[in-house]
Amino acid sequence: MKLTILGGGGFRVPLVYGALLTDRGAERVTEVVLQDPDERRLHAVTRVLGEQAAGVPDAPAVTATTDLDEALRGARFVFSAIRVGGLEGRAHDERVALAEGVLGQETVGAGGIAYGLRTVPVAVDIARRVARLAPDAWVINFTNPAGLVTEAMSRHLGDRVLGICDSPVGLGRRIARVLGADPKEAFIDYVGLNHLGWVRALRVAGRDELPRLLGDPALLGSFEEGRLFGADWLRSLGAVPNEYLHYYYFNRETVRAYQEAGKTRGAFLRDQQARFYAEAADPAVSALRAWDRTRAEREATYMAENRESAGAGEREAEDLSGGYEKVALALMRAIARDERATLILNVRNRSALSALDADAVVEVPCLVDASGAHPFAVDPLPGHAAGLVCAVKAVEREVLAAAESGSRATAVKAFALHPLVDSVTVARRLVERYIEVHPGLAYLA
Ligand code: G6P
Ligand code: MN
């Protein structure tokens, strides 16, 4: 079974390959094709994977190519994990927004819109090629902003593209643990858009355990999101939001903290990873050891700016290791082996969330089997949450429209309508600045 990884020279690819190496079951991946436009990145990551595979019997064979079409032909699964504009692009996304006094972050607010505007045209091109060259392949989209990018691709691939994120399952796991429940036995009623969702219930044997958490200040203070949002606010909401909602509920504080931080997360990762790729180019150096050192450093600083300013502690290592690669592998397995699994995924809404239309990509629990992912029917969102979800979906739709038409006015509309951009004047300036710094936005000029 052939798996193609787009963005195959990316820093997180060894996590995916490491997970594949532990898979001994039937219908497993035997061939991995890494595709990336950058030869140097491919070379570095191929070396890491080679060292990971040493001594592992039947390790999946790895090849690398810069040719997208060649990589796609014959693929049964395609992981799309590209980063258009690289981490340099992310650093610009974050810096430009903060300079205008609004949130500068990878996926939320102005930064996320800029990232989306750059990424959608490339993702659409990939989707069209998959539809032509590998029409039976399943595409698992890792690329952020994941909900928006998955929706762009779904317009060409229908339900054969599924978007993933590690944050809902991570949140569910932390809540289950605090409640003394087995995360595997719990049904997490998590609903929203990517990086914009809420856990409204956690059912164990049909019983909702969340009220027990919300009623207990000590329990609320004992896990990350409890400290991040504060017990009072969680009780007011009657739900536990995804950590990314911190950017909405505590916007001023985060913007200020990020402005004062000096270096953005994107700039930090850009410099850190540049060192890794330089080291891994030296044949005398163990690429795996260089990668592992860089990974540990990255994890130690995981969203640290945000956490510290909110008075919350560091993320537990266990959460970090249960990331994207685990979700992707569980999803691939459920489809390839027709093993039913319940996973929180980004899929077309159908009728799951009544506030949105059928084609809107939403993040909801799904039943997955060989026929794909089927969203569970979920309870409607309360007014405040439905309002936010609809507002952000409307922004995503403007991003998709701007990417399709190349209209600068539509791009301005996308920024201006975002709840975290507080003036049309600011939106206009953001579009100007982003076009100046991003070659990938030349189509809007
Ligand atoms: C979580 C999110 C991802 C996001 C990442 C950022 O895993 O689910 O969508 O890309 O955090 O982490 P980073 O280390 O790149 O700041
Ligand atoms: Mn995510």
195 known ligand binder: yes
194 known ligand binder: no
Count of C-beta atoms within a 10 Å radius of residue 336:
18
Distance 15 CA to ligand 2 centre (A): 15
Catalytic residue among 166, 189, 247, 434: 166
Residue of 106, 190, 324 to mutate, ligand 1, most atoms within 8 A of C-beta: 106
Taking only the tens place, the pLDDT of each residue in 38-67 is 999 999 999 999 999 999 999 999 999 999
Length of the chain: 445
Burial class from Cβ neighbours inside 10 Å (0-12, 13-18, 19+) for residue 377 reads exposed
Parallel, antiparallel, or unpaired: how do β-strands 196-204 and 240-241 relate? Answer: antiparallel
Amino acid at position 41, single letter: R
Residue of 11, 142, 149, 165 to mutate, ligand 1, most atoms within 8 A of C-beta: 165
* Measured CA angle at 60 (ends 54, 64), to 5 deg: 95
Ligand 1 atom with the smallest distance to the CA of 90 is: 15
Over residues 133-141, the mean pLDDT reads 98
Q: What is the pLDDT of residue 404?
A: 98
How far apart (Å, rounded) are the C-alpha atoms in residues 258 and 355?
A: 33
Over residues 93-105, the mean pLDDT reads 98
Of all protein residues, the one whose alpha carbon is nearest to atom 14 of ligand 1 is 302
* Measured CA angle at 319 (ends 318, 321), to 5 deg: 65
Q: What is the pLDDT of residue 302?
A: 67
* Tokens describing residue 308: 């510290």
350 known ligand binder: no
Q: What is the mean pLDDT of the chain?
A: 95
Task: Inform me whether the pLDDT recorded for 311 exceeds 60.
Answer: no
244 is catalytic: yes
Residue in the block written with tokens 């993933």: 164
Over residues 201-207, the mean pLDDT reads 97
Q: Which ligand is nearest to the CA of 81?
A: 1
Q: Which ligand is nearest to the CA of 111?
A: 1
ipTM confidence score: 0.99
Could you tell me the pLDDT band of residue 321, with boundaries at 50, 70 and 90?
Answer: very low
* Tokens describing residue 233: 């606010």
Count of C-beta atoms within a 10 Å radius of residue 101:
14
Could you tell me the pLDDT band of residue 308, with boundaries at 50, 70 and 90?
Answer: very low
Residue 196, strand partner residues:
193
Residues in contact with ligand 1 (CB, 6 Å cut-off): 106, 144, 165-167, 265, 269, 298, 302-303
Residue 145: asked if its preceding bond is cis (omega within 30°), the reply is yes
Neighbours of ion ligand 2 (CB under 5 A): 165
Q: What radius of gyration do the chain's Cα atoms show?
A: 21
* Tokens describing residue 425: 């004047």
90 known ligand binder: yes
Distance 33 CA to ligand 2 centre (A): 23
Task: Inform me whether the pLDDT recorded for 305 exceeds 60.
Answer: no
Q: What is the pLDDT of residue 301?
A: 79
274: nearest Cα among 88, 95, 81, 143: 88
Sign of CA dihedral 27, 31, 35, 39: positive
Q: What is the pLDDT of residue 322?
A: 61
69 is catalytic: no
Contacts of 137 by beta carbon, 8 Å cutoff, 6+ apart: 4, 72, 75, 76, 77, 78, 130, 160
Q: Is 314 helix (H, G, I), strand (E, B) or coil?
A: coil
Residue of 119, 144, 194, 268 to mutate, ligand 1, most atoms within 8 A of C-beta: 144
